[in-house]
Amino acid sequence: MEMGIAEEYAHKLATDRNMTDIKAMAADEIASCLGVSKDDEIFTGAMNALAELGQRRQKKRSRKITISRKALDDDDMDLAGTKFNVLNHVLVPHQELVPVEDEESALEPWGLLTTDEETGEPRLAKELLPKILITDPVVQVIKETVERKRDAEAGEGEDAAPLP
């Protein structure tokens, strides 16, 4: 009714139907439902009102701007060679890989040398050291550094297996 259709015809059109069903109806069905011919002014007004309703509810264009992945990669291309090294950060304590034969001398200042209860031999209490995960960024940098050094020593011809 608020769309410009007379109340009588709006009731005829809406009886036992929702708006989706009315929009899905063919022009002949709407004309027969209203009880008028397709040339009648009432039919034309009803069709115009239904068309206007469909346009009014159309989705508005989004003003969102989409940036492609390639454009982002192009912007970051100049930074591709430089990677943040966590080892250089002021809050990260000194960390390094120590060969097994040098473990005792490297860990001596912390008094980790204990006697084994079962054998009575001296051993390092490695369980007292902090647990560090392989996913830690510092560990990743150390691993990459060691792999690069090992690859450089191995030369071009040999394939060196990556560290776990």
Torsion region of 121: left, alpha or beta (phi above 0 gives left; psi -120 to 50 gives alpha) = beta
Domain locations along the chain: 7-56, 82-154
Q: Dihedral (C-alpha) 82, 85, 88, 89: value to the nearest 10 degrees?
A: 110
| In the predicted structure, residue 144 carries a pLDDT above the cut 80 | yes
pLDDT by residue (tens digit) across 104-123? 888 888 888 888 889 989 88
pLDDT by residue (tens digit) across 57-102? 556 667 777 777 776 666 655 555 566 666 677 777 777 778 889 9
- Determine the length of the chain: 164
Q: Measuring CA to CA, how many Å separate 128 from each of 35, 58, 95, 124, 133?
A: 91, 67, 16, 9, 15
